[in-house]
Amino acid sequence: MKKVMFASSSGGHLAELLKLQSLFANYNYMLVTEKTKTTDKLFEKYNVRYMQYGSRQYIFSYFFVFIFNVLKSIELMITFNPNIVITTGAHTGGIVCFIAKLFGKKVIYIESMAKVNTLSMTGKFVYLFADKFYVQWEELEQKYKKSEFLGRLI
């Protein structure tokens, strides 16, 4: 059975990612998100691992959170060893995808439904190396040659 890692930051990106939960049963999966008050009980329902939450607004502390999350991503690539990483974005998803690509894993990015005219910051970064890059608005598919529009995915 293929191993698939589903990764995103908490909040709206996680809500979008969880709309894919019907896929979880088809794979040996792991859900990766940030540890917050709203995500701390996900382990009761999902095979979940937590990253550290951090805001870029606080650049000094975010530096340490970023380093921790890079190291945690490396650990997860080694211990879980997924075939594919699927993300809906934000910084946690971007970090996991970058590390996954360094480990030779397939990366699938699904841009947020909220991004109608331009890609998100994470989307612009992951676009550079994603194996599949899905957008949810036809306008974005026309702007970004490598993107694919298949309709509303989440």
Concatenated DSSP letters of 134-154? EESSHHHHHH-TT-EE-S---
Residue 120 lies in a domain: yes
Residue 73 lies in a domain: yes
Taking all residues of the chain, what is their mean pLDDT, rounded to a whole number? 93
List, in sequence order, every residue forming a beta bridge with 108; answer none if it has no partner.
Answer: 86, 132
- For residue 51, the model assigns a pLDDT of 95
pLDDT in tens, 4-31: 999 999 999 999 999 999 999 999 999 9
Residue 154 lies in a domain: no
Q: 67: domain range?
A: 3-149
Strands (E) located in the chain? 3-8, 28-34, 48-51, 84-89, 106-110, 132-135, 148-149
What Rg, from alpha-carbon coordinates, does the chain have?
A: 15
Give the Cα separation of 67 and 19 in Å (integer). Answer: 29
pLDDT in tens, 104-130: 999 999 999 888 889 999 999 999 999
Q: pLDDT at residue 70 above 80?
A: yes
Name the strands in the sheet holding 28-34, side by side, starting at the edge strand that comes first in the sequence: 48-51, 28-34, 3-8, 84-89, 106-110, 132-135, 148-149
- Of residues 106 and 91, the one with the higher pLDDT is 106
C-beta separation of 50 from 76 below 8 A:
no
- Residue 36 sits in a domain of what CATH number? 3.40.50.2000
